[in-house]
Amino acid sequence: MRNLSNDLLYTGSAYFGYSRFNLAFIPCFLTLLILSINLLKNQHEKIAVFVFVLLIISNQIMSPINFTSGVRKPGWGDYTVWTSEYNYPYDEAYRWISNHPEIKAIGIVGRTYPYFDQFYHQKYNLKFNQFKVVGKRNRKSNLGKNLSYILYHKEPAFYSKPDLHTLQMLSAYKLIKKFTRGDLSLSLYMRKL
């Protein structure tokens, strides 16, 4: 298998659209914007209005958001570059799980970073008898043996190598629901009887 991370060119364009990177430009951008608007306003009022409208349109194109809710539109960002802001469909997954009260013991596998799942547990009033995050440190333990359900957080192939232990553990389960957003996915598995 080809390692895509070796093919990436880490130039400024790789970070374009990455919100934390763009925050570094705010002081310079705001200073130049204020100077430009004051200059244009005093001499060319119509041009100033045109530039202002052009800035709003270009901002909307570069970072599209939903005007009614303020959240970014699905698929925004470049999911092929590791610097992208990943947006896994946890909200959709936990919403679906909340409609299935038979799910009482669940584990998260495949995730390589900490995440605050309790936000969604509170949002959807979820009360699990058992909730485990099976990470790299504890994946070889017997945590998965008591779990009826597994939510598999699949990392992009170029970000982490396939985890054979996780794949072996999932072989004891059957896929019941997949949640996707762009190239990112969460798969819900139920233990085979």
Provide the pairing of β-strand 105-109 with 149-154.
Answer: parallel
Mean pLDDT of 111-131: 88
pLDDT of residue 106: 94
* Cα dihedral 134, 139, 141, 144 sign: positive
- 62 and 131 both lie in a single domain: no
Say how far apart CA 157 and CA 2 lie, in whole Å: 10
Which of 18-22, 46-50, 128-132: highest mean pLDDT? 128-132
- 81 and 94 both lie in a single domain: no
pLDDT tier at 93, thresholds 50, 70, 90: very high
Instruction: Tell me the residue range of the domain where 22 lies.
Output: 1-85
- 74 and 109 both lie in a single domain: no
Say how far apart CA 50 and CA 28 lie, in whole Å: 21
- 141 and 74 both lie in a single domain: no
- 103 and 127 both lie in a single domain: yes
- 95 and 165 both lie in a single domain: yes
In the predicted structure, residue 2 carries a pLDDT above the cut 50: no
- Give the pLDDT confidence of 23-52 residue by residue, as tens digits: 777 788 788 878 877 777 777 777 777 877
pTM over 0.75: no
Among the three residues 85, 117, 136, which one is the final residue of a domain in this structure?
A: 85
- 119 and 53 both lie in a single domain: no
Among the three residues 57, 85, 113, which one is the final residue of a domain in this structure?
A: 85
pLDDT of residue 152: 93
Which strand (E) or helix (H) includes residue 33? helix 26-43
Say how far apart CA 23 and CA 1 lie, in whole Å: 36
Q: What is the DSSP secondary structure assignment for residue 23, as one 8-state letter?
A: G
Mean pLDDT of 122-146: 73
Among the three residues 85, 104, 130, which one is the final residue of a domain in this structure?
A: 85
- Give the pLDDT confidence of 41-82 residue by residue, as tens digits: 777 777 777 877 887 787 777 666 666 666 666 555 544 444
- 8 and 95 both lie in a single domain: no
- 15 and 79 both lie in a single domain: yes
pLDDT of residue 100: 95
pLDDT of residue 47: 77
- 20 and 70 both lie in a single domain: yes
Domain count, the chain: 2
CB 26 within 8 A of CB 34: no
Tell me the two tokens of residue 67: 């005007």
